[in-house]
Amino acid sequence: MPDPNPAALDFLLTRRSRPAKTLTAPAPDRAALMPLLEAAVRTPDHGKLEPWRLLVLERGALDRLADTALDRAAALSLDPEQADKGRKQFADSPLCVAVIEVQRASPKIPEIEQTYSAGAVCLALLNAALASGWGANWLSGWVAHDRGFVEEALGLAPNERVAGFIHIGTETSAPPERPRPNLDTVTTWVAA
């Protein structure tokens, strides 16, 4: 018989992200953030490649990124709504951890498994923050996928990309529960 952890299972069955726009200061300080980061990197990593790294974006960096997002949006001729959405992701965030996927050459570990590992870091960090009582949200948006932005603003190399921006802070309002997938429509039982 397995040794169950009912509290962990209950958390996973009831967890929900908090909208980034509801997050405010205070955010975890470095001492409070370190165990969350440690939990995040205890993730599946076939071949022990560590195909990810973390950028902790504090207030000064977030302000710089907000300005850079506006400049980049203008260079891309994005409409004002898209430009502001990219800006606000950083301007309104109390703290953000950018999870950076780092593709590593490997004869054994396919690139897609490295991508999955980086995504697992995002979810592990999100869940660690929520389990610690913080509000948290995993975002991407155009800023995560625009090579000009990520290279200029985050210094990403050609073999790197943003897996996610994990915003962490104090929750100001809880969203209503949303509908969840119907297990009967997404599950197939295969017996033989």
Residue list, annotated binding site for FMN: 15-17, 42, 46, 138-140
Helices (H) and strands (E) in the chain, counts: 8, 5
Residues placed in the known binding site? 15-17, 42, 46, 138-140
- How many Cα atoms sit within 13 Å of 34 on the Cβ side? 2
Q: Residue 12 in 3-state DSSP?
A: helix
Q: Where are the alpha helices (DSSP H) in 42-188?
A: 59-75, 80-91, 111-131, 142-145, 147-154, 183-186
Shortest CA distance to 117 belongs to which of 164, 154, 156?
164
- Residue at 18: amino acid letter: R
Shortest CA distance to 29 belongs to which of 18, 20, 37?
37
DSSP letters of 20-66? GGGEES----HHHHHHHHHHHTSS--GGG---EEEEEE-HHHHHHHH
Contact 169, 27 (CB under 8 A): yes
